């Protein structure tokens, strides 16, 4: 009973910390957008637009850094051609997703193995080895990864739980990020051009 109360307290503390960080990230994005910091930075570094897009793409992966990354990519989109924003941004996002995937895979697997240790361990192994579930878990992870209102961490952790190969993860995340960053680029040109 004591262990359960401590676990619930830890979950509440992490939830509060995460909500604070998300709020701080949105506040930073709002400040960046209206203070003109990003536009001054981009005006001074037009020849480094690909590098800026790559770095913004790396921050496009996490829920905590998503808002500032969208602001940076939108600012870059105003004065830079599509291929110089979207492709480097997607490559940067793949690097960020890969780092997140490698970290989450280890954390999720150890957490899940701790949760299901005991009488459920054997049942879990039998269940997860069924051919139907061998593709449904990574497919669900990819579906959650593509949804804009679900953090990438959820989809990446499911893909990590299913032991998805990195050689398959890279093209999948690249394709999804090309579409996502293209939507930002086209939105900027449709509404602010």
Q: What is the pTM of this model?
A: 0.71
Q: Quick one: tokens of 53?
A: 């897009």
Average pLDDT over residues 116-129: 62
Predicted local distance difference test score (pLDDT) of residue 12:
66
Cβ neighbors of 186 (< 8 A, separation 6 or more) are none
* pLDDT grade for 175, boundaries at 50, 70 and 90: very high
Q: How far is residue 26's CA from residue 20's CA, in Å, rounded to a whole number?
A: 10
């Amino acid at each position: 009973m004591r262990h359960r109360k401590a676990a619930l307290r830890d979950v509440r503390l992490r939830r509060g910390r995460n909500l604070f960080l998300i709020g701080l990230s949105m506040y930073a994005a709002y400040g960046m957008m209206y203070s003109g910091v990003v536009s001054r930075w981009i005006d001074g570094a037009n020849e480094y637009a690909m590098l800026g897009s790559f770095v913004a793409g790396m921050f496009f992966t996490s829920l905590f850094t998503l808002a500032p990354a969208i602001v940076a990519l939108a600012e870059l989109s105003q004065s830079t051609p599509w291929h110089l924003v979207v492709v480097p941004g997607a490559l940067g996002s793949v690097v960020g997703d890969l780092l997140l995937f490698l970290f989450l895979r280890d954390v999720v697997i150890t957490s899940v193995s701790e949760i299901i240790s005991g009488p459920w361990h054997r049942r879990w192994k039998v269940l997860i080895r069924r051919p139907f579930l061998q593709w449904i878990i990574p497919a669900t992870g990819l579906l959650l990864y593509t949804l804009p209102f679900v953090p990438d961490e959820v989809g990446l952790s499911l893909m990590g739980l299913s032991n998805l190969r990195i050689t398959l993860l890279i093209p999948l995340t690249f394709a999804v990020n090309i579409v996502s960053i293209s939507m930002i680029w086209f939105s900027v040109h449709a509404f602010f051009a």
